[in-house]
Amino acid sequence: MAVFSSLTPVFVAVLCVVIGFLFKKSQRRQTRSKQERSDQTAKPWVDEDLQDDTEISSKHNEEDDDDWLDTTEEENLAHIPYTPAQYSATEMLERSEKFYSLMNLRRSVRFISPEPVPKEVIDNVIRTAGTAPSGAHTEPWTFVVVSDADVKHKIREIIEEEEEINYKQRMGDKWVQDLKKLRTNWVKEYLDVAPYLILVFKQTYGILPSGKKKTHYYNEISVSISCGILLAALQNVGLVTVTTTPLNCGPQLRSLLQRPANEKLLMLLPVGYPASDAKVPDLKRKDLNEIMVTV
């Protein structure tokens, strides 16, 4: 007993080291499994496409220029004079007012007429969208124009199926309650009815002739800018649309339309004339002094 007693401090020390070691190991395992779990159980209602891009875009910034044109590429190009038409101050003012009035009539419209629209007009609005600036002049956009009734219907099925899940399972309690009142909300009739669906894909990277990948700087911002110009072009010819971002449908729609892996769905625009009974919510826009600060 005396021997045991005299060994107590040693025994305690050894025991503590052993316990400490086991404890540390179990903690490490716990941390790792926690991490793994949090990786795996990534919330199902988070759009994977957008997540992909998020990662890529933070990598992008590492080598970015502040100007959108790749200066290196640009230096190798001939530079040509640029002398566009100039308007007098009066003309400018008139033009700016007229364009504002036109654009201010634009509304997001979900009631679209099945009436056919000349395809040449659609070609021209897509051409116009293609005049947007882009990071390093990569032009990282693909516009898939769908008029085939079967494909439109498949798109509708994919979106409504996901949307029903979004509404029923992926949204918060507040949404679930709203759902009861808004039964038809995941039903997107316009996807069948509109003569055209324009699916806008951003190319998250490019593929060089050598097969190597090429960074597409700011591809999401660039494609969004081109969508702004597309909206202006549609409004200019009297067509309507609604800017939608089909949640969680990107991979299925990409696969349906056989787009390559570097393309991610950014937006879907149903396009046509407004239905004769089209209605829009009575929304107001902010005044100039709420959106502009003059210094």
Among positions 72-91, residues that touch its own copies (CB under 8 A) are 72, 74-75, 77-87, 89
The verdict on 218 binding its own copies (CB under 8 A) reads: yes
The verdict on 214 binding its own copies (CB under 8 A) reads: no
User: What single DSSP character describes residue 170?
Assistant: I
What tokens were used for 59?
Answer: 């990598």
**263, exposed or middle or buried, with CB in 10 Å at 0-12, 13-18, 19+?**
buried
The CB-of-35 to its own copies minimum distance in angstroms stands at 12
The verdict on 255 binding its own copies (CB under 8 A) reads: no
Displacement of CA 226 from its chain's centroid (Å): 13
Stretch that binds its own copies, among 33-41, 204-212, 230-238 (CB under 8 A): 230-238
State which of residues 35, 238, 255, 260 lies at the interface with its own copies (CB under 8 A).
238
The CB-of-6 to its own copies minimum distance in angstroms stands at 9
Q: Pick out residues in 107-166 that bind its own copies (CB under 8 A).
A: 107-111, 117-118, 120-121, 123-133, 137, 139, 141-148, 151, 159, 163, 166
The verdict on 39 binding its own copies (CB under 8 A) reads: no
Contact 269, 230 (CB under 8 A): yes
Angle, vertex CA 264, rays to CA 51 and CA 60, nearest 5? 60
State which of residues 226, 252, 253, 254 lies at the interface with its own copies (CB under 8 A).
226
CA dist 107 and 32 (Å) reads 50
The CB-of-178 to its own copies minimum distance in angstroms stands at 5
Contact 234, 125 (CB under 8 A): yes
What tokens were used for 266?
Answer: 């950014």
The verdict on 288 binding its own copies (CB under 8 A) reads: yes
Residue 35, amino acid: Q
Count residues contacting its own copies (CB under 8 A)?
150
* Sole residue written with tokens 């969208």: 129
Between 103 and 211, CB nearer to its own copies = 103
* Sole residue written with tokens 């990786």: 39
CA dist 203 and 141 (Å) reads 6
Between 216 and 259, CB nearer to its own copies = 259
Contact 151, 208 (CB under 8 A): no
- List, in sequence order, every residue forming a beta bridge with 196; answer none if it has no partner: 271
The CB-of-37 to its own copies minimum distance in angstroms stands at 17
Please provide residue 148's backbone torsions phi and psi, each rounded to the nearest 5 degrees.
-65, 125
Between 211 and 291, CB nearer to its own copies = 291
The CB-of-210 to its own copies minimum distance in angstroms stands at 16
Looking at beta carbons, which pairs linking 172-181 to residues 24 or more positions away fall under 8 Å?
A: none
The CB-of-211 to its own copies minimum distance in angstroms stands at 19
State which of residues 195, 246, 250, 272 lies at the interface with its own copies (CB under 8 A).
246
The verdict on 35 binding its own copies (CB under 8 A) reads: no
Q: Pick out residues in 168-207 that bind its own copies (CB under 8 A).
A: 170-172, 174-175, 178, 181-182, 185
